[in-house]
Amino acid sequence: MAAGCRIDALADAVSRAADGRLAFSLHGDASRRIRGVAPLQSAGGDQLSFLANPRYRGAVAESRAGAIVLTAADRQALFPEGAVVGATLIECANPYAWFAFAAQFLAPIGLPVPGVAAGAHVASGASVDPAARVDAGAVVESGASVGPRCWIGAGAYLGTGAQIGADTRLHPGARVLSSCVIGARGIVHSGAVIGSDGFGFAPLDGGWIKIPQTGRVVIGDDVEIGANTTIDRGAMGDTVIEDGVKLDNLIQVGHNCRIGANSVLAGCVGIAGSANIGRGCQIGGAAMIAGHLSIADGTLIGPGTLVSRTIATAGYYTGFFPLMTNRDWERNAAALRHLQQLRGRVRALEARLKDGGTGED
């Protein structure tokens, strides 16, 4: 957006996009033109930035940003009545969300140019909406369905009978395998694989017999899937990703899992088969979720946490050991090996004290 737009026009656009959920007030020159976004430390006079954490108030005083989104508390702390303010201030209870809508408006994703490029392969039995685009090297197999304004990037693959809804984008090299379904406005980044076989094998005489994975992956609307993330199809029945879920890069979702609406998972999370993650959950990077368990709606899981049992009550759960030097870790690990023995000695001392003993050897 080379010409940019006035702050008051930008604010109106944000208000419409947020359906009135982000009340705000403007302080300063509402006619200033904004052309892009940048961090507080590097923003220029035609750029928008935001302050969401009071710890970074110091950066506001030094910022050259043309407009800054911040809370009422931060504005009052930084700019008491009568203070000279260089930037236009946008006061909002949720600056980060306001900034996100504004950034979308300032850097819009253009609609794809409709058509099937030379070098793309679209099978005769496939259905591609006339408003969609299929780039060179992409493959759309027989029975697959591509909705209006979709983009199938170079080298992306849509398997037999797979479906993607309106405005969904498959980045170059993304894979949506046979019979899998993605709703509207989805984003699948490069290297992601939707519908790979689940890890299902039956033991027999020291060997392993493969169990056919006959289910699908069914993904709702407004779901984003990061680069090189893999979502296994169900063994029997479907793996389900509900509306609004956001998955980071390098996540593994096992067969027959369900991830509830509007949950967000950071990079390198691993989820074993048949786990049921509730709605509105937040799971930190590298957390490991065991199979056949449930996590309550609204639960927060810290990074690096092992979830080995069902979480029935929402809360903030962590399970990692604090960082320390390797020498200290080895000493603590050595002590941990004797924890069971120490527990027995403590119980014996407690029993002696209860019986009237002194507890002395």
- 273-293: pLDDT as tens digits: 999 999 999 999 999 999 999
Buried b / exposed e over 284-317, threshold 16 CB at 10 Å, is: bbbbbbbeebebbebbebeeebebeeebeeeeeb
Per-residue confidence at 336, pLDDT binned at 50, 70, 90?
Answer: confident
Per-residue confidence at 1, pLDDT binned at 50, 70, 90?
Answer: very low
Architecture of the CATH domain 5-106: 3-Layer(aba) Sandwich (3.40)
Architecture of the CATH domain 115-317: 3 Solenoid (2.160)
Hey, where are the domains in the chain? 5-106, 115-317, 326-361
Model confidence over 85-106: pLDDT tens digits? 889 999 999 999 999 999 999 9
Per-residue confidence at 220, pLDDT binned at 50, 70, 90?
Answer: very high
Is the pLDDT assigned to residue 206 strictly greater than 70?
yes
pLDDT of residue 321: 80
Write out the catalytic residue numbers.
255
Per-residue confidence at 357, pLDDT binned at 50, 70, 90?
Answer: low
Is the pLDDT assigned to residue 124 strictly greater than 90?
yes
Per-residue confidence at 354, pLDDT binned at 50, 70, 90?
Answer: confident
Average confidence (pLDDT) over 153-162: 98
Kindly report the backbone phi and psi dihedral angles of residue 50, in degrees, each rounded to the nearest multiple of 5, phi listed first. -150, 160
Whether 5-106 and 115-317 share one fold: the answer is: no
| Global confidence as pTM | 0.90
Per-residue confidence at 80, pLDDT binned at 50, 70, 90?
Answer: confident
